Amino acid sequence: MSEKVMDFSYCDELVKDFEKVIEHPIAEKSKTYYTGVDLGTACVVLAVLDDKRRPVAGAYRYADVVKDGMVVDYIGAVRIVKELKEEIEKELGTELELAAAAIPPGTDELDSGAIKNVVQGAGFILTNLLDEPTAANEVLKIKNGAVVDIGGGTTGISILKDGKVIHIADEPTGGTHFSLVISGAYKMPFNEAELYKRNADNHKELLPVLKPVIEKVAAIIKENAQGYDVEEISLVGGTACLAGIESVVEKWTKIPTFKPVNPMFVTPLGIAMSCKDEEI
């Protein structure tokens, strides 16, 4: 691993505060609430910030309403987002109106309409729609390098120079593929493999089993980084929670690779940070 160290202090503190308010929401009144809706392949997350952009509430639910970055169960997606919204509203004692959402990079023509309709169908006013790695960087604050969001179905990449996105890509391969490998290696049903993967106690054992598919993710990153001066890679997304994944990516790409303490909640918080005051 690289001896270089990334400063994720702002990100880690924000995520830590978010984890607290998921369990104990802050019901103090705010002029405005900003919600980030993250429709992931494996998990739907709602992150709520107050008018000072501080986490006050959140909720998440594992679901299979999205596949490879695309909404495959529209009714189910609307129902889950609506239920999570109502759950948080009850805890805060107020109605949540404004929300932002995100899509895998480069899929705006394919699925942005579906995501928009899900958020609006759940009762939100949609104020922003951006790509997932760019949303994550609202929290990471990377100026130069690559932000890689390893989701359930795809790996999304944003390459930044001087704080601006100069290249985006989204390629199949993500947590679903990890679970398929585990299912085959351990001869267990896919759903059991998903649960086995999420248990951090199993990560050390799973890393060598999953090395080939991690290297596929790394190859995608390396290919997209070619031609750009990428000095560092930052991993986010639920799949990046796998202990040791950054070491495999760094070894394959030859680029220093880092991740925050809990990569799972970075993107939804970034989406919430991107929420605006007016409908798009």
**Confidence (pLDDT) at 111:** 56
Residue 40 has pLDDT above 80, yes or no: yes
Report pLDDT digits (tens) over 157-167: 999 999 899 99
**Confidence (pLDDT) at 108:** 61
d(CA 151, CA 237): 5
Report pLDDT digits (tens) over 92-138: 999 999 999 998 876 665 556 888 999 999 999 999 999 889 999 99
Q: 1 falls in which pLDDT band (50, 70, 90)? A: low
Nearest in space to 259 (alpha carbons), one of 246, 243, 277: 246
Q: 153 falls in which pLDDT band (50, 70, 90)? A: confident
Which token pair is 120? 């609006």
**Confidence (pLDDT) at 67:** 74
d(CA 177, CA 68): 10
Q: Which residues contact 262 (CB under 8 A, 6 or more apart)?
A: 12, 15, 19, 241
**Confidence (pLDDT) at 68:** 64
**Confidence (pLDDT) at 38:** 94
d(CA 266, CA 264): 6
**Confidence (pLDDT) at 216:** 97
Q: 45 falls in which pLDDT band (50, 70, 90)? A: very high
pTM, 2 dp: 0.92
**Confidence (pLDDT) at 258:** 97
**Confidence (pLDDT) at 208:** 97
